[in-house]
Amino acid sequence: MTKGDGVRSNDGGVQSVDRAVRVLEVLARNGEVGVSAIAAEIGVHKSTVSRLLGSLEEHEMVTQTYDRGKYRLSLGILRLAAAVPERLEITEQGHAVCERLAMKLGETVNVAVLRSHFAVHLDQARGPAAIGTHNWIGEPTPLHATASGKVLLANLDQRQRHEILSSSVLEQFTDHTITTLARLDEELDAARSLGYAVVVEEYEDGLNAIAAPIRDYAGGTTAALSVSGPVYRFSEERMRDVVPDVIAAAAEISERMGFRESYTPSA
């Protein structure tokens, strides 16, 4: 008896897992792919692929794109990956730096990357004063209202930045959230020039944050390092005081990622 499509093998459960993994691999390799194309590539019937995709979608491993019928990987993949940070280069290279910075500043330190229209957190370290802080690992956060998001946007070229923003809704989370493209562009230009970005109660009332870019070997911004804390402790004045520490930590991770040119922010 073969393991052809439509024939139940003695190990049907393993076969389903194998097919699901192959579906994920196709999406990882090709980006957005339709049911028919996936079925052709892995050699099974479209109905089988549809069932697999339905199960993967329930577990947030894949999601349908705006172009109905096509699928792409979803944020559930990152949540799984974030559970083994030693296997992720950014977290592997940066976790000790984040832990050290969190201990020094007493606040929560996060590393986030750009994924579609969100900043998604890959790693987190908590300072001694941050006990009970929310675990952000794997969570998507808005680009326009977070320090990490602003850094990631600021270091894109103008075309990429405007493509993302033009297809995004600048949702208002607090009274301080920036919801106009003109003002956001000004902030992003300033963040690019200064080498860091701040948010003052823009995503959550009572929460402030500052972030700096982490660069890869080619000098591109591959992630953002952020420090966040409650307003009563992590005030605007306090954030100004820690700018050198945040930039230095991001630069250290950048060097570990292969970036050798020293990065000095504008005055």
Tokens at 5, concatenated: 């499509």
Please say if the pLDDT value at position 12 is more than 70. Answer: no
- The model's pLDDT over 161-197, given as tens digits with 9 standing for 90+, comes to 989 988 888 999 999 999 999 999 999 999 999 999 9
What DSSP letter does each residue of 44-102 carry, written as one string? S-HHHHHHHHHHHHHTTSEEE-SSTTEEEE-THHHHHHHTSGGGSHHHHHHHHHHHHHH
Correct CATH for 84-256 of 3.30.450.40, 2.40.37.10, 3.10.180.10, 1.50.10.10 = 3.30.450.40
Do 12-74 and 84-256 share a fold?
A: no
Local structure of 257: helix, strand or coil = coil
- The model's pLDDT over 92-133, given as tens digits with 9 standing for 90+, comes to 788 899 999 999 999 999 999 998 889 998 888 888 876 556
- The model's pLDDT over 58-78, given as tens digits with 9 standing for 90+, comes to 888 888 876 567 888 887 776
Please say if the pLDDT value at position 244 is more than 70. Answer: yes
**207 contacts 201 by C-beta, under 8 angstroms:** yes
Name the residue ranges covered by the structural domains of the chain. 12-74, 84-256
Q: Which CATH class is domain 12-74?
A: mainly alpha
Tokens at 223, concatenated: 């992630």
- In the chain, the largest separation of any two C-alpha atoms, in whole Å, equals 72
What pTM value is reported for the model?
0.66
Helices assigned H by DSSP within the chain: 12-30, 35-42, 46-58, 76-82, 89-105, 147-154, 158-166, 181-194, 236-256
The kind and range of the H/E element at 113 are: strand 108-115
